[in-house]
Amino acid sequence: MEKSIIKSNKFELGRVGDMEKMAVLLKAHIIKHNLYTPIVGKNYVNVDGWAYAGGLLGAFPRIKSVQNLSTGTEIKWQAEVEIIDKSGKVVSTGFAVCSNKEGKKKSFDEYAILSMAQTRAIGKAYRNVIGWVIKLAGYEATPKEEAVNIGSDKIEVKIEVSSEKGIQEELGQIQTLLEEQGFKTPTKQLQAIKAYCK
């Protein structure tokens, strides 16, 4: 597949200076319209923000295909999306799936599963070509719709200390770690640990 440098009247993807200017405009738009989601202390841009960035470059998504991968009780769809420039040339492609076996999708109707597969594929297709521009704007280079499982795991902390001073230092490090990961400090848990360690 031949790739072109995406151009609009104002911005050209191949010019870093253009992308720096676009990143400032992009960040302001994302903040103004709340097109990002904080997940574990990092900000992920929603697909609408990615589409805005693509629009600034004159690059738009086109659904190439959808495929029903459902079996038995599982509703599962795959979508393929192309990003095309103003001339219709394909500049990026993205594939994605969605299933009702995913944790938060168990009660989704089939149309919603299909729709999310397309939404994820759009985000992925944009990410393949302009992920670095989103990062330049100060956001994670993964679309929010792909980041659904980030932060769902429990944080495990192993403490090996032998003195009261060491315990206090470790507790401070745990608190800092939790805050850095975007979790509110579990005050009652920390107080219980401190009481137990005395």
**Which residues have C-beta within 8 Å of that of residue 100, sequence separation ≥ 6?**
74, 75, 76, 106, 107, 108, 113
Q: In a structure prediction context, what are the per-residue pLDDT tens digits for the chain, which is 198 residues long?
A: 444 556 666 777 777 888 888 899 899 999 999 999 998 889 999 999 999 999 988 999 999 999 999 999 999 999 999 999 988 999 999 999 999 998 888 889 999 999 999 999 999 999 999 999 999 999 999 999 887 655 544 444 444 545 566 666 666 666 666 565 555 555 555 555 555 455
* Model pLDDT, residue 163: 57
Q: What is the pLDDT of residue 12?
A: 77
Q: Cα dihedral angle (97, 100, 102, 105), rounded to 10 degrees?
A: 110
**Chain mean position to CA 32:** 18
Other CB atoms within a 10 A radius of the CB of residue 36 amount to: 22
d(CA 15, CA 18): 5
pLDDT given for residue 62 in this prediction: 97
CA distance 195 to 54: 54
3-state helix, strand, coil in the chain (%, to 5): 45, 20, 35
